[in-house]
Amino acid sequence: MTSKSESELSVKQVGSVAIIGAGLAGLSCAKELMRRGYRVHVFEKCEFVSGRMARIQQQLTEGKEPLWFDHGAQYFTARSPEFSQQVYQWEDQQVVQEWHGPFVALTDGICGPAIGDDVRYVGIPGMDALCVNLAQQCFEAGSFEAGDFEAENRNATLTLSANVLPLQRIEKSWQVRHENPQTGTITQEEALFDAVVLAVPSPLIGSILPADSPLIKQTQPFKMGPCLAVLLAFDESLSLPYGGAFVQDSPLRWISNNSSMPQREELPERWILHPSSEWSAEHWEDCDEKILEQVCAAFEKATASTLPESRFQVLYRWEDALPLEPASQGYFSDVKQRVVIAGDWCTDARVEGAYLSGLKAARHLADVVLKDQ
């Protein structure tokens, strides 16, 4: 463990904020705090930014380029003026593009109209593009897609592969220690922070804050459910007349033809299948083979088709996938201890909710928590 003496630890920066989690909430918070002149240090336990908007690379054929699957968030909508404005900017920069589906409601092969007429957007070339773009704006370096590295500019630092361990108070400041999940190396940050933002799923709050934090009790009721994700690839198109379907009367909640999203390779045709949260929880402990078999059978029934042999099938487990009943206030805060909590589960279980929660958390931090700094 890299340990520092008390005197070395006193290198405190004025107006410095540690942000834990580089999903959309953590990064929108970082960008807004930087805009207001604060120094931020974002810590992310994965080797890449984007959290539940990540995409995953799979080697389908020996010797050929691996292919990407958008296995988490599938698309997003923009309903608030603030997020819409950001989305229009992203559209101009070709970070996002409209996905035309088509979208249907599906019951045993019978298609009905999908609910809602919102424009559905996806990231380009993958759903992680939104977070990668924000990270590039904040840290001005790197692809942020993989690697164990630090990216830094004058006012911001990003440390990947940094699983933040329980935080410690040192007088009025916060000390951050983190563990590299690959190597097990524990690092203690030299600088102390004036405030912390936790932008992580609600079930993780208790493992990061000190046991006496009132925020643990306040956030405990906001549970999250799991989501299994089955990734399939076929050499030929399945020729189904939709790109995304909200499945009814089935273990499946959603299926999408990943290849139908803009700027994705058409073949092999890649499909993402998401069972419902309830079905995922019930079958979480089952072995991969059993889950794959049942989900593929549900896919055949929902689409009323016989699947050709898939080139590839893989199961991914999202543990804290979706808030069961999100809070409504947008963020949680302990002004005295200078801790703010953000994330989709604080406002709305969607990409837009995560973005807005990060933004609101940053404003509250600047306008209230660190007002006198």
Ligand X SMILES: Cc1cc2nc3c(=O)[nH]c(=O)nc-3n(C[C@H](O)[C@H](O)[C@H](O)COP(=O)(O)OP(=O)(O)OC[C@H]3O[C@@H](n4cnc5c(N)ncnc54)[C@H](O)[C@@H]3O)c2cc1C
Which residues contribute to the site for ligand X (CB under 6 A)?
20-26, 43-46, 51-53, 72-76, 162-164, 199-201, 204, 208, 227, 229, 274, 318, 321-322, 343-344, 349-351, 353-354
* C-beta of residue 352 within 8 angstroms of C-beta of residue 366: no
If we measure between CA atoms, which residue out of 29, 9, 4, 8 comes closest to residue 17? 29
Find the helix or strand (DSSP H, E) in which 129 lies. Answer: helix 129-139
Report how far residue 373's alpha carbon sits from residue 359's, in angstroms, rounded to the nearest whole number: 20
In the complex, the smallest distance separating the C-beta of residue 62 from ligand X, rounded to whole angstroms, is 29
**Whole-number minimum distance, CB 64 to ligand X, in Å?**
27
Minimum CB separation from ligand X for residue 345, in Å? 7
Choice between 40 and 308, CB closer to ligand X: 40
Listing DSSP states for 230-250 in one string gives EEEEESS----S-SEEEE-SS
Nearer to ligand X, 26 or 125 (CB): 26
Q: C-alpha 354: how far from its chain's center?
A: 9
Give whichever of 2 and 61 is closer to ligand X, judged by the CB atom. 2
Say if CB 48 and CB 54 are below 8 A apart. Answer: yes
State the minimum distance, in angstroms, from the CB of residue 48 to ligand X. 8
If the CB atoms of residues 158 and 321 are measured against ligand X, the closer one turns out to be: 321
CB distance 239 to 324 below 8 Å = no
Nearer to ligand X, 127 or 192 (CB): 127
Looking at the DSSP assignment, which residues form a beta bridge with residue 123? 96
Residue with Cβ nearer ligand X (147 or 308): 147
Please give the backbone phi and psi of residue 299, each rounded to the nearest 5 degrees, phi first.
-65, -45
Closest CA to 300 of 251, 265, 266, 261: 251
Q: What value, to the nearest 5°, has the Cα angle with vertex 161 and ends 68 and 60? A: 20
| Shortest spacing between CB 160 and ligand X, in angstroms | 9
Rounded to the nearest whole angstrom, what is the least distance from the CB of residue 348 to ligand X in the complex? 8
Minimal distance, residue 7 CB to ligand X, in Å: 27
Cβ proximity of 230 and 58 under 8 Å: no
Quote the least distance from Cβ 22 to ligand X, whole Å: 5
Which of residues 65 and 98 has its CB atom nearest to ligand X in the complex? 98
HSE-up (13 A, CA, CB side) for residue 313: 16
Query: Distance between CA 258 and CA 232 in Å, rounded?
Result: 10
Contact 281, 226 (CB under 8 A): yes
Residue placing its CB nearer to ligand X in the complex, 152 or 235: 152
Between 10 and 188, CB nearer to ligand X: 188
> In the bound complex, what is the minimum distance in angstroms from residue 235's beta carbon to ligand X?
26
Cα 256 from Cα 78, distance rounded (Å): 20
- Concatenating the DSSP letter of every residue in 313-341 gives EEEEEEEEEEESS--SSS-EEETTTTEEE
**C-beta of 23 vs 243, nearer to ligand X:** 23
Integer angstrom CA distances of residue 93 from 97, 101, 170: 10, 22, 43
Cis peptide bond prior to 323, omega within 30° of 0: no
Distance of closest approach, residue 113 Cβ to ligand X, in angstroms: 18
